Amino acid sequence: MRRLLALRLTEAIVVLIGVLTITFFIARLRGDPAQLLAGPDATVADLAVLRKSLGLDRPLPDQYAAFVANAVRGQMGDSLRYRTPALPLVLERLPATALLALGAFVISVGVGVPLGIIAATRRNSVWDHTSMSLALLGQTVPAFWLGSLLILLFPLHLGLFYTSGFGTLGHLVLPAVTLGMFHTARLARLTRGGMLDVLSQDYVRTAKAKGVRAPAVVRRHALRNSLLPLISILGLEVGTLMGGSVVTETIFAWPGIGRLAVESVFARDYPVVQSVVLVASTVFVLTHLGVDLLYGLADPRIRYE
Partner 1 sequence: MIDGIVMDDRRARRRGRLLRRHLKGIVGISILAIAVFGALLAPWLTAHSPTVADAQRRLIPPAWAGGTASHPLGTDQLGRDLLTRLLHGARISLFVGTLAVVLSAPIGVAAGLWAGYRGRLTDEVIMRVVDSQLSIPFLLLAIAIIASIGTGTGNTILVLALGGWPTYARMVRGEVLSLKEKEFIEAARAVGAADGRIVRRHLLPHVVTTTSVVASFAVAHMILLESTLSFLGLGVQPPTASWGQMLSDAKSYVSLQPWLSVFPGLAIAVTVLAINFLGDWTRDLLNPQTRHL
Q: Is 240 near partner 1 (CB under 8 A)?
A: yes
Q: Which range, of 51-59, 79-87, 105-113, 150-158, touches partner 1 by CB under 8 A? A: 150-158
Under rule CB under 8 A, residue 143 binds partner 1: yes
Q: Does 13 bind partner 1 (CB under 8 A)?
A: no
244 binds partner 1 (CB under 8 A): yes
Task: Tell me: does residue 178 bind partner 1 (CB under 8 A).
Answer: no
State in angstroms the smallest separation of the CB of 199 from partner 1. Answer: 11
Instruction: Tell me the closest approach of the beta carbon of residue 277 to partner 1, in angstroms.
Output: 5
60 vs 136, beta carbon nearer partner 1:
136
DSSP letters for 71-124: HHTT---B-TTTSSBHHHHHHHHHHHHHHHHHHHHHHIIIIIHHHHHHHHHTTT
In the complex, least distance from residue 258 CB atom to partner 1, rounded to whole angstroms:
8
If one asks whether residue 130 binds partner 1 (CB under 8 A), the answer comes out as no
Binding mask 16-35 for partner 1 (x = CB under 8 A): xxxx-xxx--xx-xx--x--
179 binds partner 1 (CB under 8 A): no
Give the count of residues interacting with partner 1 (CB under 8 A). Answer: 57
Q: Up-side HSE of residue 238: CA atoms within 13 Å toward CB? A: 20
The residues binding partner 1 (CB under 8 A) are 11, 14-19, 21-23, 26-27, 29-30, 33, 36, 136, 139-145, 148-149, 151-152, 156, 193, 196, 239-240, 242-244, 246-247, 250-251, 258, 261-262, 264-266, 268, 270, 273-274, 276-277, 280-281, 284-285, 288
